């Protein structure tokens, strides 16, 4: 790699702690170890040492570990100092190392160097960041699999199928005298089928991985006093929303996160949908509709005890009108009240869940429904974490693959087919970092912690 400077960062979280770790990476790591501790520690063996300043006075005492290149996380020589976790002590140690020739690391620079030195690919680096940020045990296990390279291996498998297909198409270009239509080549047809199946599998896994990483946004919407805030409190397991008999109590978006089946659910309670009574409520309704349009799932809450018509068609039309294009589940609330059960039974044909936010009846069915919609079996042994950019790259690769298949079936030019397959492979390469702009890589690593 082109960087030849040495970097340093505090690798433990800010604040007081029993142990604080300072990490150094780069060609000057060995010289810094000698200057700080008096000698170079044996490779990969912890040694008790005093960390001294420029006047040979001790800054701290702790363990020093030296890892020679290239078999380190970054691929460079690495020095790790484990001392006491006081912020002042760690700052003094950082200052001394900077005096000795290192510079403070940027966010994610250690992982960036590991990538640039071929120790990991970008998808593995993101798996490391996802493991640190994991909000559940399921997400942590999935991130660990991505960190070990399982997502990358599946992407490489898809690329291998593309490569084999490209070889056959390129052969047809190089040897046109054979004059055999590409569609008559059984190997190419079989390759197309394998690619289609591999893409479908990887897409499902990637969508599930995005939900494990980013969560699943569920918006509660409906008319005033339908019981949205009461349902929010039930799902949250706490009194996070104010509940009163007065319509229009909720004026702004209220957000809360819960875990269901290992997937973070981002719950958003919204203002009741009606003609606004004042400017503040009008703004609340506007924000509600904005949140609804961006939801992964909309829970349209209806007062099942009201005198409004409860037939399936009426409810389905209401649900479709509030957020066109967004998946909707109708929640028939207040089934504990007189007449509500009969109304709920009349609406049985729609995609709905009947419950009582007040008593909790039917809540288990709603939770099961949310787990199903967020992704079935999210904790199985094959789950991986993924990013939205992975899904975008995968979609772009598939679009090029479909275009190549369309050209093939229309007996199009082999050169155009080959180019579409090349573009598909390039898009897949963005997931692992084999292809991609410096701006993209910079954006990825800037989201990491300092010292990682």
At 352-380, the pLDDT tens digits run 888 999 999 999 999 999 988 887 554 45
Q: Say what the pLDDT of residue 2 is.
A: 43
Closest CA to 330 of 258, 321, 338: 321
**What is the C-alpha to C-alpha distance for residues 152 and 142, in angstroms, rounded to an integer?**
13
- Put simply, whether the predicted model's pTM sits higher than 0.85 gets the answer no
Min mean pLDDT across 16-20, 152-156, 238-242, 376-380 is at 376-380
pLDDT, averaged across the chain: 86
Query: What are the phi and psi torsion angles at 36 (to 5°)?
Result: -80, -40
Asked if residues 337 and 357 have their Cβ atoms less than 8 Å apart, the reply is: no
Q: Say what the pLDDT of residue 210 is.
A: 87
Top pLDDT among 380 and 5 is at 5
Report the pLDDT averaged over residues 5-15.
93
**What is the C-alpha to C-alpha distance for residues 48 and 138, in angstroms, rounded to an integer?**
38
Top pLDDT among 34 and 142 is at 34
Q: Say what the pLDDT of residue 208 is.
A: 85
The CA R_g of the chain, rounded to the nearest whole Å, is 29
pLDDT over threshold 70, residue 309: no
CA 451 to chain centre: 21
pLDDT over threshold 70, residue 443: no
297-303 sheet: strands from edge to edge = 254-260, 263-269, 216-222, 297-303, 328-333, 352-354
Question: Reduced to 3 states, what is the DSSP secondary structure of residue 9?
Answer: strand
Give me the sign of the Cα torsion angle 433, 449, 216, 151. Answer: positive
Asked if residues 288 and 318 have their Cβ atoms less than 8 Å apart, the reply is: no
Tally DSSP H helices, then E strands, for the chain: 15, 12
């Amino acid at each position: 790699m082109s960087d030849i400077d040495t970097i340093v960062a505090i690798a433990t979280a800010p604040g007081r702690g029993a142990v604080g770790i300072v990490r150094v990476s780069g060609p000057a790591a060995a010289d810094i170890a000698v200057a700080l501790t008096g000698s170079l520690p044996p490779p990969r063996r912890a040694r008790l040492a005093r960390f001294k300043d420029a006047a040979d006075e001790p800054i701290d005492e702790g363990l020093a570990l030296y890892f020679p290149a290239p078999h380190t996380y970054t691929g460079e020589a690495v020095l790790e100092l484990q001392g006491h976790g006081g912020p002042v002590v760690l700052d003094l140690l950082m200052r001394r190392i900077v005096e000795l020739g290192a510079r403070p690391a940027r966010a994610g620079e250690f992982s960036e160097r590991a990538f640039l030195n071929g120790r990991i690919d970008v998808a593995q680096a993101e798996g490391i960041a996802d493991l640190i940020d994991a909000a559940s045990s399921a997400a942590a296990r999935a991130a660990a699999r991505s960190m070990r390279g399982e997502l990358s291996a599946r992407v490489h498998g898809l690329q291998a199928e593309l490569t084999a297909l490209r070889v056959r198409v390129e052969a047809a270009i190089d040897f046109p005298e054979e004059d055999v239509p590409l569609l008559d080549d059984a190997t190419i047809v079989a390759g197309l089928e394998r690619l289609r199946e591999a893409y479908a599998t990887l897409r499902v896994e990637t969508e599930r991985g995005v939900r494990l990483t980013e969560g699943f946004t569920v918006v509660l919407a409906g008319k005033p006093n339908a019981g949205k805030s009461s349902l929010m409190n039930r799902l949250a397991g706490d009194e996070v929303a104010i509940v009163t008999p007065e319509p229009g109590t909720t004026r702004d978006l209220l957000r809360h996160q819960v875990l269901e089946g290992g997937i973070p659910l981002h719950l958003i309670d919204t203002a009741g949908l009606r003609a606004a009574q004042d400017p503040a409520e009008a703004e609340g309704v506007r924000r509600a509709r904005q949140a609804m349009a961006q939801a992964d799932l909309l829970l349209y809450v209806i007062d099942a005890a009201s005198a409004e018509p409860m037939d399936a068609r009426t409810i389905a039309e209401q649900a479709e009108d509030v957020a066109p294009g967004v998946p909707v589940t109708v929640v028939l609330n207040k089934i504990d009240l007189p007449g509500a059960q009969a109304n709920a039974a009349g609406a049985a044909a729609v995609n709905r869940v009947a419950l009582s936010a007040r008593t909790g009846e039917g809540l288990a069915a709603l939770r099961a429904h949310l787990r199903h919609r967020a992704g079935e079996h999210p904790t199985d042994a094959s789950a991986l974490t993924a990013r939205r950019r992975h899904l975008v790259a995968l979609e772009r690769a598939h679009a090029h693959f479909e275009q190549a298949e369309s050209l093939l079936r229309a007996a199009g030019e082999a050169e155009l087919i080959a180019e579409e397959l090349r573009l598909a492979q390039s898009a897949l390469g963005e997931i692992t970092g084999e292809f991609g702009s410096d701006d993209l890589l910079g954006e990825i690593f800037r989201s990491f912690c300092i010292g990682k």
